[in-house]
Amino acid sequence: MKIELSDLEDFARGAAFLGTGGGGDPYIGRLLATHAIKEFGTPKIIDPEDLADDALVFAIAMLGAPTVLVEKAACGDDIDLAIDKLSERLGRRPDALIPIEIGGINSTIPIVASARSGIPLVNADGMGRAFPEIQMVTFNVYGYPPAPLSIVDEHLNAVVVDAKDAKTAEDLVRSVAIQMGLSVMTANYPISGSVVKKYAVKHTLTLALEIGRAISRGRAQGEPVDSLLAYLGSTEYYKHCKILFDGKIVDIKRETTKGFSVGHCRIDPLTGDGDSMEIIFQNENLVAKVKDKLLAMVPDLVCVVDRETAEPIPVEALRYGQRVKIIGASVPPVMRTPEAIKIFGPRAFGFEEDYVPIENISM
């Protein structure tokens, strides 16, 4: 696979969809990736199957609150330093990099890191979507925690974190990130090639690009949402997909607290008749419900798109009056096991409901 300059718009749009409202502003990410490719060249992207079992792989991400990321992006040197600091801690440079998630800016920051460093980028990630907390990654689900890890701010202040478990790592990193201004670079999850091959969500860079292309094709044909759904239905991971709601945003509450962008969005039917849908988010959209019935829930995707163009709308860009469609979709099997649901199912976010796959929920 290759991601050229001409691919970045489609790629960023597809990744924004998979980000389920989070992962950072895809427009900013596209600008960063464009600059990096122009200056350093196109990164080498490799399939997970091509990694040596003993290869060292670092996950790369920007961590913080999406509302802050809009105004406080990466400078490039902070990305380099995050890799350098974790390499110093381990006494070894990585053989490859991997996105921690395939969503928003966190799908393009690894492209920047790979282009700047010359280290290959793996066509996979640790979520198959975006999640707000650093322990909510498939590698941690199956016994490979994120620490040691490095975090770096735009002033090149750096901290290396060791922690006894993934949740402790999240709490420590979140505290430091708040002090650093809630927009930091991190290199984390130093894992082997064999772990990537077993537990990563594979080929998601390709999937993000093809989702973006499907939206572009649909726009040319006048049916972007239908084109998006048709492509999702052809994939292995996201094939259980459907429109959950069609309406207009009539209320939005969003605040930045405890290191996250949290809140809810209410959508009324376009006709003005019938029940409203509520979406609850913590950086990413977590659940979509009508009255007290959940129609989709984490880890499955809950995505807000413009009803005419299918443009994915991040949580920080939700506005009163936007006419939207809410799309729900399944996630890979590796994210639906009992071990995974314990880490990033509904109850992990404080909801009282047990996880029900989207394909088993009647409208």
Q: Which residues pair with 303 in a beta bridge?
A: 327
What is the Cβ-side half-sphere exposure of residue 264, based on CA atoms within 13 angstroms? Answer: 11
Tens-place pLDDT, residues 187-231: 999 999 999 999 999 999 999 999 999 999 999 999 999 999 999
Residue 243 lies in a domain: yes
Give the pLDDT band (50/70/90) at residue 78: very high
Tens-place pLDDT, residues 133-183: 999 999 999 999 999 999 999 999 999 999 999 999 999 999 999 999 888
Closest CA to 135 of 108, 173, 104: 173
Q: Which residues contact 14 (CB under 8 A, 6 or more apart)?
A: 207, 208, 209, 210, 211, 212, 213, 214, 215
User: Does 256 share its domain with 170?
Assistant: no
Q: Which residue has the higher pLDDT, 69 or 215?
A: 215
User: Does 10 share its domain with 115?
Assistant: yes
User: Does 137 share its domain with 198?
Assistant: yes
- Six token digits for residue 352: 């009282």
Of 202, 224, 246, the residue that ends a domain is: 202
pLDDT > 70 fraction of the chain, expressed in percent and rounded = 98
For 314, which DSSP code?
Answer: -
pTM of the model: 0.95
User: Does 36 share its domain with 167?
Assistant: yes
Say what the pLDDT of residue 190 is: 98
Say what the pLDDT of residue 29 is: 85
User: Does 160 share its domain with 284?
Assistant: no
Say what the pLDDT of residue 70 is: 66
Give the pLDDT band (50/70/90) at residue 75: confident
User: Does 180 share its domain with 248?
Assistant: no
Say what the pLDDT of residue 104 is: 82
Look at residue 257 and tell me whether its pLDDT is greater than 90: no
User: Does 249 share its domain with 304?
Assistant: yes
Look at residue 245 and tell me whether its pLDDT is greater than 70: yes
Residue 219 lies in a domain: no
* Distance of alpha carbon 298 from the chain centroid: 13
Say what the pLDDT of residue 68 is: 67
User: Does 10 share its domain with 146?
Assistant: yes
CATH code (residue 321): 2.40.390.10
- Six token digits for residue 222: 């006048």
Look at residue 73 and tell me whether its pLDDT is greater than 90: no
* Range of the structural domain that residue 322 is part of: 238-360
Lowest-confidence region among 65-69, 128-132, 169-173, 186-190: 65-69
The three-state secondary structure class of 286 is: strand
Of 150, 185, 202, the residue that ends a domain is: 202
CATH code (residue 181): 3.40.1610.10
Q: Which residues pair with 261 in a beta bridge?
A: 256
User: Does 263 share its domain with 121?
Assistant: no
Look at residue 363 and tell me whether its pLDDT is greater than 80: no
Residue 215 lies in a domain: no
User: Does 247 share its domain with 181?
Assistant: no
Number of folded domains that form the chain: 2
The position carrying tokens 């600091």 is: 85
